[in-house]
Amino acid sequence: MKQVAVFGYGTVGSGVVEVIDRNSAVIEKRVGEKLNVKYILDLRDFPGDPNESKVVHDINVILDDPEVEIVCETMGGNEPAFTYSKNALLKGKSVCTSNKELVANHGPELLKLAKENNCNYLFEASVGGGIPVIRTINEALTAEIIDGITGILNGTTNYILTKMDREGAKFDDVLKQAQDLGYAEKNPEADVEGYDACRKIAILSSLMTGHYVHFEDIYTEGITKITPEDFKYAKALNCTIKLLAMSKENNGSYYAMVAPFLIGKDTALYNVNDVFNAVFVHSNMLDDSMYYGRGAGKLATASAVVGDVIEAAKNTGKNLPIFWDDTKVNLLGIGEVNRSFLVRVKEAECDKKEISAAFGEVTYVTDAGVAGEIGFVTPMMKEKDFEAKLNNLSGVIGRIRLDK
Ligand code: HSE
């Protein structure tokens, strides 16, 4: 019997206990032994819960129990999750986590500790919920040089943008609906400002490069300024708007960013809607591949954690190498990246002469049906050149990047 402890009995933690319980027979066959949740660490008591007797409040009960070989860290946040994870690894206990913030912040250090203590730090559930994208990169695409990853990595924002596209609704109204349905957090800042997607692409970028891409170096723009008018332009251009998280090789360097993009109907990510996530990977031998599924939710995320528990259980006493060291990657500024932009200006303050003088030959969007403004798509240019030109243009309402 493999003994497991769960740190944090919230949504994901209780999901982990449920998955281990409901799928115990098949898990036992796959591991070759039964998995048993021996302890649940939480500050709270859970009177009446079937697992009430397993709840402990003192981490040392778990750390000092040699029978516990694997812990699931489903607490979230940096502390005390970081200290608890370190201490578990120091005791040779594998840690399986859904905590993207901790992985993005301290991944290399925790991976090193796992290696030194012949155990594993596994984090499948930290990106893309139940989509097995981390294991795919670490174990399946190992013959590849990956040079680009583009993902829809946040379910809440994808739900909001999908509703805005389909219903012509306003951001604030859809956010409220998402909160009422329990998709968005009461404090939705991390989702709508792109911080959640930023941490996830930081993790994927680190696995892509084998080094450490720090989330603070990633340019991040959220979706709070996207309006129904933007979607009218998107439709006129046969596009929709998605919050993309991307990391790409560019002439031997890498850049990474999170921002809303106009993407065409002919692109693979166009039909990724509602709370679904998808990760599009480009690599040198396989070319394009895409991974799609539920990027959030109790059982989807818990299933990924338990998948890691099974992996750890099958590899007791053995560290599984993960291609991610602590050498920092110096990212290329996104100002150097070439792309085109949709720009909206007020008709009363700017004319086509001024637009041509600034941007040369542009493509006007004539059928968006938005009165009192001019919308146009620029030629491809470096972001820094675009921003300089835009700063000198009169009556600017907004701009959105095109992913072409
Ligand atoms: N808040 C996240 C999302 C949860 O909406 O995708 C999963 O990481």
- In the chain, CATH 3.40.50.720 sits at 2-130+298-314
- pLDDT for the residue numbered 181: 79
Q: Which residues are catalytic?
A: 200
Averaged over 230-242, what is the pLDDT? 98
Identify the band that residue 296 occupies on the pLDDT scale cut at 50, 70 and 90.
confident
pLDDT at 185 over 90: no
Atom of ligand 1 nearest to the CA of 153: 6
pLDDT at 180: 84
Model confidence at 404: pLDDT above 80:
no
Distance 29 CA to ligand 1 centre (A): 31
> Which range (157-161, 180-184, 238-242) has the least confidence?
180-184
Q: What CATH code would you report for 337-402?
A: 3.30.70.120
Rounded to the nearest angstrom, the distance between the alpha carbon of 260 and the centre of ligand 1 is 17
Pick the CATH number of 136-294 from 3.30.360.10, 3.30.160.250, 3.50.50.60, 3.40.50.2300: 3.30.360.10
pLDDT at position 379: 97
Which residues, at least 6 apart from 251, have a Cβ–Cβ distance to it below 8 Å? none
Tell how far the Cα of 54 is from the centroid of ligand 1, in angstroms.
28
- For a substitution probing ligand 1, which of 191, 242, 243, 258 has the most ligand atoms within 8 Å of its CB? 191
Among 11, 98, 131, 156, say which to mutate for ligand 1: greatest number of ligand atoms within 8 Å of CB.
Answer: 156
pLDDT surpasses 80 at 349: yes
Query: Tokens 């979706």 label which residue?
Result: 223
Contact 261, 272 (CB under 8 A): no
Judge contact between 97 and 73, C-beta under 8 A.
yes
Of 80-89, 117-126, 183-192, 366-375, the range with the lowest mean pLDDT is 183-192
Query: What's the chain's average pLDDT?
Result: 96
State the average pLDDT over residues 74-94: 97
**Cα(234) to centroid(ligand 1), Å:** 25
For ligand 1, residues with CB inside 6 Å are 129, 154-156, 191, 196, 295-296
CA separation for the pair 311, 122 (Å, rounded): 9
Per-residue pLDDT for 36 more than 90?
yes
Closest to 212 measured CA to CA, from 105, 300, 117, 315: 105
What is the pLDDT confidence band of residue 200, given thresholds at 50, 70 and 90? very high
For ligand 1, atom 7, name the residue with the nearest CA. 296
Stretch(es) of the chain classified as CATH 3.30.70.120: 337-402
Q: Let me know if domain 2-130+298-314 sits in CATH 3.40.50.1100.
A: no
- Angle between helical axes of 100-116 and 81-90 (0-180°, round to 10): 20
* Closest ligand 1 atom to 185 CA: 1
- pLDDT at 99 > cutoff 80: yes
Which residue, by CA, sits nearest to atom 8 of ligand 1? 296
Is pLDDT of 179 > 90?
no
In whole angstroms, give the CA distance from residue 178 to residue 127.
21
Query: 155 CA to middle of ligand 1, Å?
Result: 5
Q: Which ligand 1 atom minimizes the distance to the CA of 98?
A: 8
- What is the C-alpha separation between 223 and 208, in angstroms, rounded? 26
